[in-house]
Structure 1
């Protein structure tokens, strides 16, 4: 009798993945790829993980976020952690802020301030300080943007690989709510007549390095997300989130090589076969680029292999503004200062026009973080770690920045008087400046454009560099320079899209990290 025996199982070798950069997108990709069965090696040029989402520490006990300080919409990262067998809330202590931040509107002869609250009743009362009639627009604004996000979410959660992807049903369905012909400011004018109220719900376009007067109306969802899903502070700074991601990735078997810059991607024809570091080649079945797109891709991929994104196209693309940063360790406390403070200059619209034209604003709007209002670990007892961010022109618009640093330091420090802090100069015990040329030279940010490629419609969706980089084979992108775009939640979502494509291409486990049931992430409130 003939017996048919089952064929022996075919064991494929586990794919080897090289990831260039340990920023938030690279770390998220490392976690998910390692959880999917790949062998993952992350090559990071610096001695710490996190890229711009890291915590700067000083010998005398001050800690500062380097870049992002607003931690929004943690649901995406929570889902990624769960996909990888971990719990975000067990790895990082997150405090939900209430109030969320303080807005200071400069006016002739003084200023008006409001404390933005996720409690809609409280927020209506705050809006009424500026314009009583506009308080009635808050709940319709929230309802409209809740619907907008629900409809547009499928678009943000998938890849755009061909022009035909722009004509799929989810895009067609979203267009009436997106109003692509409108801007954030014009869209807000349907709910709020007072320009100051519109600023309260549109300054968030600065998370993308854009003007609310140019930014597509889709991005009114940014302020909606803050009010409906909360703003969180990770104890220890946003770098604590990056460190937790690295910790989980290593537990899953990923190797993270610090102090190891990648010189170039190794190609055979148009297919990536590994990376070269310090003259040595490290073979890989695929390469994920998490380094800044404009700063890294011209170095990593030879120009003859880049048809869609040539050096000329990269140079002519539109980029975000840059930022002038001050990190100050002060030998006194400021008990009345909020955790997040946004100073909106009376000349806000002029500031934006100046930045877009290459002029440095002399009465700038700025953002000040006082993390010690929530987190005592950020400075020694009795001291303050102060973070200052001033939007300024990038190095395309203003190439001669280095001559301005000392003078602009004084401009920025003088602006702290608006917050009632007086002259902080006698109290400075630690100081670091990061100006546009430092973003380029030290941190590899192309053109010093802190928020990467701008998010105008001609540079979104299919028109943004693809998650599967279309010019070559075996190269994938994560980070703010690819779809869906900049901002931590969006970068994490982009990493899910990219690793989903890689799962299909490399035969990895394609299990989704998205929760099947809706449910908001809960964390301890500030002061709990």
Structure 2
């Protein structure tokens, strides 16, 4: 008889776990509270316009190819990926840097804008490649106890982890110009952290972009979620949308199923939580079941920043690249406002997603689907968004209008949808509206992060950004592979790695030669 697995949440982590387990003979059922799949990577539809709700940067496509291979499928049969060149435009006032994976061309662009800094870029690419080769194995296995720190891979990685410095501090060793440091450290926002506080290990994020490049799936990143759902169904799994879970059923410290919001009890041999971890821990367990992650302990954790979003259906084309980031003149002050002072910056940094420059499927002919994202404090800040949202929208649009390409933008808006941190919290069920989940401080990494095998309840597993190895789509996929491999090998004394336990021949983390 097939072992039954109940998965809570159809975000990327839950879908990836459903793919792997259904492909390996498990009876998989996924329960999603929303009427759609994808979670923070879902499709947002306005009349005639389609948007990615959250994640828009797609790096390391080989991790997606690997996932589909492990489920007996080919990614290319489901989704068409297009490379981006430039990867993105970084704008500091009137200075614009367009990033490319062509190392010779990238060095030339850096030299032309920042004379004498090209050598630092070459050193960054060389040294960070070595660091990443040491760090990568730590992202592919669990850290469930302190014994896991004794592995040879960690000993090899330690001299390169740069855990005692910060991302900004590390980049100061490569670049003299503050704008260039910013160009290689803004990726700390993917973790919802300040580069002046984020551990120096995470300079690998910008390295990964420059080594692998960025891709765009036709239809948006949400198409990857739809493709995973297709594979799950092909393997006999079931997905139920508009079907929320109200409680993980626990008896004697062991999960044995879930209670749905409609009152139905679903028995299962294993339960996987793919919902936002802190929200799930606070809401999906009976009082007293959790000790380490009790409501009070959850309040003591550190959380990422949030985001203010505008999804705009625009008449006409927008003459910007796929990704553009408009930095505040005082970027440090802007980041401190978000992470330390918990207030809205007078001059925010703004990310502009313009996929219609490449993908005609997202808007009517001659129109554009434009998404605007502004990092802001999470809901622990005392910002009354019901009063502030309209004024902040005005501030954002006024700042966008300073760009020659966006002058007159507001007059071309035909559809609009706004999302505030309160919406992330109340409608998307993201704890504290922390869009990037738990922060990635040293005291919330590796074994100090919630474990893939949930340590508080037996036969309960975690996937997603709230568990090891962390947030971001590639690492969320790794969390699913780690958790599924452990689940499938639960009767074996040692974890031997996903490549041995689920399949072989998958792509590695190794960067391509350029």
Q: TM-score range by the shorter chain?
A: over 0.9
Q: Contact (CA 8 Å) 2:129, 2:511: kept in 1 or not? A: no
SS state at 1:123 partner: helix
Q: Distance in 2 between matches of 1:398 and 1:391?
A: 16
Deviation string, structure 1 residues 413-470 (Cα, Å, up to 9, x no partner) = 1121243211322111100000000001110000000000000110000000000000
Deviation string, structure 1 residues 300-319 (Cα, Å, up to 9, x no partner) = 12241212212111111110
Pairing 1:145–2:139 present: no
Q: 1:30: how far off? A: 0.1
Superposed, 1:340-379 pairs within 5 Å as 340-356=323-339, 357-379=341-363
SS state at 1:18 partner: strand
Uncovered stretches (5+) of structure 1, i.e. residues with no partner: 1-12, 523-528
SS state at 1:182 partner: coil
| Structure 1 pair 129–513 and aligned structure 2 pair: CA distance change class (3 A) | farther
Partner of residue 92, structure 2: 105
Deviation larger for 513-522 or 199-208: 513-522
Deviation string, structure 1 residues 232-284 (Cα, Å, up to 9, x no partner) = 00000111110001001110111001110000011112111100111110000
Partner of residue 456, structure 1: 441
| Residue from 295, 302, 311 that aligns with 1:327 | 311
SS state at 2:40 partner: coil
Aligned length: 504
| Residue from 46, 50, 67 that aligns with 2:38 | 50
Pairing 1:274–2:257 present: yes
Pairing 1:479–2:458 present: no
SS state at 1:305 partner: coil
Q: Distance in 2 between matches of 1:477 and 1:89?
A: 28
Pairing 1:25–2:13 present: yes
SS state at 2:351 partner: strand
Q: Distance in 1 between matches of 2:197 and 2:138?
A: 21
SS state at 2:364 partner: coil
Deviation string, structure 1 residues 67-91 (Cα, Å, up to 9, x no partner) = 0001111111211101111111221
| Residue from 501, 505, 509 that aligns with 1:515 | 505
Q: 1:516: how far off? A: 5.8
Q: 1:513: how far off? A: 4.4
Deviation larger for 228-237 or 303-312: 303-312
| Structure 1 pair 204–246 and aligned structure 2 pair: CA distance change class (3 A) | same
Partner of residue 248, structure 1: 231
Q: Distance in 2 between matches of 1:389 and 1:398?
A: 20
| Structure 1 pair 309–65 and aligned structure 2 pair: CA distance change class (3 A) | same
Q: Distance in 1 between matches of 2:134 and 2:430?
A: 33
Q: Contact (CA 8 Å) 1:328, 1:386: kept in 2 or not? A: yes
Q: Distance in 2 between matches of 1:520 and 1:87?
A: 20
SS state at 2:401 partner: helix
Partner of residue 445, structure 1: 430
Q: Contact (CA 8 Å) 1:329, 1:428: kept in 2 or not? A: yes
Q: Contact (CA 8 Å) 1:323, 1:393: kept in 2 or not? A: yes
Q: Distance in 2 between matches of 1:175 and 1:140?
A: 20
Q: Distance in 1 between matches of 2:312 and 2:503?
A: 39
Q: 1:166: how far off? A: 2.3
Q: Distance in 2 between matches of 1:271 and 1:244?
A: 32
Q: Contact (CA 8 Å) 1:75, 1:521: kept in 2 or not? A: no
Q: 1:514: how far off? A: 5.5
Q: Distance in 1 between matches of 2:334 and 2:356?
A: 29
Partner of residue 392, structure 2: 408
Coordinate RMSD, CA, aligned: 1.7
Q: Contact (CA 8 Å) 2:41, 2:52: kept in 1 or not? A: yes
| Residue from 67, 74, 80 that aligns with 2:61 | 74
Pairing 1:318–2:318 present: no
Q: 1:400: how far off? A: 2.5
SS state at 2:320 partner: coil
SS state at 2:245 partner: coil
Q: Contact (CA 8 Å) 1:80, 1:513: kept in 2 or not? A: no
Q: 1:14: how far off? A: 1.4
Q: Contact (CA 8 Å) 2:211, 2:511: kept in 1 or not? A: no
Partner of residue 2, structure 2: 14
Superposed, 1:109-508 pairs within 5 Å as 111-277=94-260, 278-334=262-318, 336-356=319-339, 357-420=341-404, 421-505=406-490
Q: 1:395: how far off? A: 0.5
Q: Contact (CA 8 Å) 2:315, 2:413: kept in 1 or not? A: yes
SS state at 1:14 partner: coil
Q: Distance in 1 between matches of 2:507 and 2:178?
A: 39
| Residue from 61, 74, 91 that aligns with 1:87 | 74
- Select the structure of larger CA radius of gyration: 1
Q: Distance in 2 between matches of 1:263 and 1:380?
A: 40
Q: Distance in 1 between matches of 2:491 and 2:331?
A: 49
Q: Distance in 2 between matches of 1:208 and 1:518?
A: 23
